[in-house]
A and B are shown apart, each in its own frame.
Chain A
Amino acid sequence: MSIVVGNDAEHKLLALLRIALNCSAEAANDKQIFSLSAEDWRNILDLAAAHTVTGLIYAAVKKLPSDLCPPDNISLKLMMEAERIERYSRKVESFTEKLVSELKGASLAPVFMKGHEVAKYYPEPYLRVCGDIDVYFQPSEFQMAVSFFKEKGYAPQRRPDRSFFSNSGPGIDIHPYYFDLHVRLEKLPPVPSTEAVLLMLSSHILKHAMGPGVGLRQICDMVVCLKAFTGNSAESNCTYDSVQLEEYFQAAHVATWNKVLLAFISRYFGLDTAMFSGSVNAGQPLPKKIRKLLSSFERIVFSGGNFGFYNISRKKTATSKFSGKRKIDTFYRFLRNTPFSLRCSPREFFSYTFSLLKGNLD
């Protein structure tokens, strides 16, 4: 497997993630890879924090032999962070169970999306860092669902993209659309389905890559789902129709993008993506277009971290007194990534840009 990332910490971070997700061709006791100094470990953990994958690093370290583990003071900090992550994950799980019970009591049928849906496919689900709860309702139920959240005191606020957000608990993102795509629904897979999950995750990563940025956590989500849905994982026996899935990606105009994503996953997580829809066959050289897009995508992932927050310009927006600074930073990132976005999916780029502009002006 060739690695083209920039620095040693990135190499080692990826090696540890491969171990955590059971993708690894390397042995956990490979001293050439895992003989690391204290400073190496600090750099890796800083990078893991930027990509919000620290819990996975803890999972990987558990598999290393004792002589390759981090020094004691670093191990203890890692344990404390893993404890914090797991504890929060369990808290979110309890909150979600209560929410589901309330929603079902109101005859509503929530469909959970993104991290909350895919966490169960991880070898250790509670070590996946939780963000907001993303929940989708069918069009026929959406307004009822929003009313439900209002009546129950969740105080959902409307957002430019027509979703609603509530600050309750870990944060609840209430979506009227399952897919981050501007395509007629009848061309897309039924929800819920394994094809829908894969298309949803892929398009979600694309949207963030087009704009603020995206990190390894979302890519790990895609990795665990691909493993689970091809029967390569003990966590699931789901399967999907690869021919039908490729048709869905084509219909959604994101087939080129998906090839880029699968090339990234093949290169850095070692999955044989030849079996997946639309991917370039393993062992064959990448087409020039995909190679160039892959290089751009690598820059986006490794320079930005989790949703681009690792990037210095993004960090500054968090402390700025000017509330529009974040929007300006997001706009700048859209501009910067335009060549990449246009080549991945011009239709989605224009549609997405238009809908965001419209939403902000409404």
Chain B
Amino acid sequence: MIAKQYRLFEDCSLRELKGKFLVMVYPKDGQKPFALEVNASFAFLFQTAQRLEVFDVDALANAVVNEYKIDLNRAKEEVEHTLEMWLQYGLIK
């Protein structure tokens, strides 16, 4: 994947209940809102991305290294994989 900067799709929210995470996406292009059940690491990345107005692989990978204490290369792999998924789901552009 070409590393580039991303923005979260205009309107997303994350909700957590007893270790269950739900991302709600509200597309503004006329499509129906949808929900994704996600895991804790996805939720962590999502919350990190929300704090960054514009984000990229490096910004998120550094956050993962600090949080999960893994090496940078592995963090970048995980982040790239997650961002691919987010692109497919339409969470980012």
Q: Is the CB of B24 within 8 A of A83?
A: yes
- For residue A82, which residues in chain B have a CB less than 8 angstroms away from its CB? 15
Q: Is the CB of B24 within 8 A of A78?
A: no
Instruction: Tell me if B37 is interfacial: C-beta within 8 Å of chain A.
Output: yes
> Which residues of B from 17 to 47 have beta carbons under 8 Å from A?
17-20, 22, 24, 35, 37
> Which residues of A from 61 to 87 have beta carbons under 8 Å from B?
61-62, 66, 69, 72, 75-76, 78-80, 82-83, 87
Query: How far is the CB of A330 from the nearest CB of chain B, in Å?
Result: 35
- For residue B24, which residues in chain A have a CB less than 8 angstroms away from its CB? 80, 83
Complex-state Cα separation, A82 to B19, whole angstroms: 16
Q: Is the CB of B18 within 8 A of A83?
A: no
Query: How far is the CB of B36 from the nearest CB of chain A, in Å?
Result: 10
* Chain B window 50-86, contacts with chain A (Cβ cutoff 8 Å), 1 for yes, 0 for no: 0000000000000000000000000000000000000
Q: Is the CB of B13 within 8 A of A79?
A: no
The main secondary structure of chain B at its interface with chain A is strand
Complex-state Cα separation, A76 to B17, whole angstroms: 8
- Chain A residue nearest to B22 (CB atoms) is A79
The main secondary structure of chain A at its interface with chain B is helix
- For residue A78, which residues in chain B have a CB less than 8 angstroms away from its CB? 17
Query: How far is the CB of A93 from the nearest CB of chain B, in Å?
Result: 16
Complex-state Cα separation, A180 to B33, whole angstroms: 40
The answer, among A58, A75, A83, A87, for a CB contact under 8 Å with B20, is: A75
Query: How far is the CB of B19 from the nearest CB of chain A, in Å?
Result: 7
- A76-B37 contact given A83-B13, A83-B24, CB 8 Å threshold: yes
Complex-state Cα separation, A80 to B19, whole angstroms: 15
- For residue A79, which residues in chain B have a CB less than 8 angstroms away from its CB? 15, 17, 20, 22
Residues of chain B touching chain A, judged by Cβ–Cβ distance below 8 Å, are 13, 15, 17-20, 22, 24, 35, 37
Sample of 17 further A-B pairs with CB below 8 A, known A61-B17, A62-B17, A87-B13: A58-B17, A66-B18, A69-B17, A69-B18, A75-B17, A75-B18, A75-B20, A76-B20, A76-B37, A78-B17, A79-B17, A79-B20, A80-B22, A83-B15, A83-B22, A83-B24, A83-B35
6 chain-A/chain-B pairs, Cβ below 8 angstroms: A69-B17, A69-B18, A75-B20, A76-B22, A79-B15, A79-B17
Closest 8 CB pairs of A and B: A66-B18, A79-B22, A69-B18, A79-B15, A83-B24, A79-B17, A83-B15, A80-B35
